[in-house]
């Protein structure tokens, strides 16, 4: 596996990234939507294996106070190889110096992120576009 990493936006095939999200699976995110959110993220990475996009991730950050790591996507053929761990480590390192680095995990995946030093926040709250769906998926609790 000869992986190449970049943070450049000008070479991204947004349709390929959208397909990666569906395959990962991280949902159906339109190419235009992904272009917007990755362009507005201070830190990002795209990983290719022999020209094929196999992993991506991003972190929203303000340059000093808060960084939010999100959207870690790895092609199923590359899951279990340590690539997701490398992407998270890359984004955590890029975010160093911020007073806090935040992420929210797919329910059940919290132990993966604990390896990087993340702990559960007791006061985190969220408003989602589809609150009921996120309640059903286990991202939210009404307690």
Task: Dump pLDDT digits (tens) for 89-114.
Answer: 999 999 999 999 999 888 888 999 99
CATH of the domain at 43: 3.40.630.30
Total domain count, the chain: 1
Is 11 part of a structural domain of the chain? yes
Is 115 part of a structural domain of the chain? no
Is 136 part of a structural domain of the chain? no
Is 113 part of a structural domain of the chain? no
Task: Dump pLDDT digits (tens) for 36-90.
Answer: 999 999 999 999 999 999 999 999 999 999 999 999 999 999 999 999 999 999 9
Domain of 94? 3-103
| DSSP secondary structure, 27-66, as one string | ----HHHHHHHHHT-SEEEEEEETTEEEEEEEEEE-SSSE
Is 130 part of a structural domain of the chain? no
For the entire predicted model, the pTM comes to 0.91
Is 125 part of a structural domain of the chain? no
Is 108 part of a structural domain of the chain? no
């Amino acid at each position: 596996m000869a992986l190449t990493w970049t943070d450049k936006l000008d070479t991204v095939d947004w349709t390929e990234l959208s397909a990666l999200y569906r395959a990962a699976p991280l949902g159906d995110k339109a190419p235009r939507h992904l272009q917007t959110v990755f362009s507005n993220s201070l830190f990002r990475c795209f990983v290719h294996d022999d020209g094929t996009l196999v992993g991506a991730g991003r972190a929203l950050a303000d340059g000093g106070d808060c960084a939010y790591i999100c959207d870690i996507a790895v092609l199923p053929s590359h899951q279990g190889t340590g690539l997701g761990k490398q992407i998270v480590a890359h984004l955590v390192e890029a975010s160093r110096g911020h007073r806090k680095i935040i992420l929210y995990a797919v329910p059940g995946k919290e132990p993966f992120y604990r390896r990087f030093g993340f702990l559960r926040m007791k006061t985190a709250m969220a408003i989602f576009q589809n609150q009921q769906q996120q309640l059903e998926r286990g991202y939210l609790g009404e307690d």
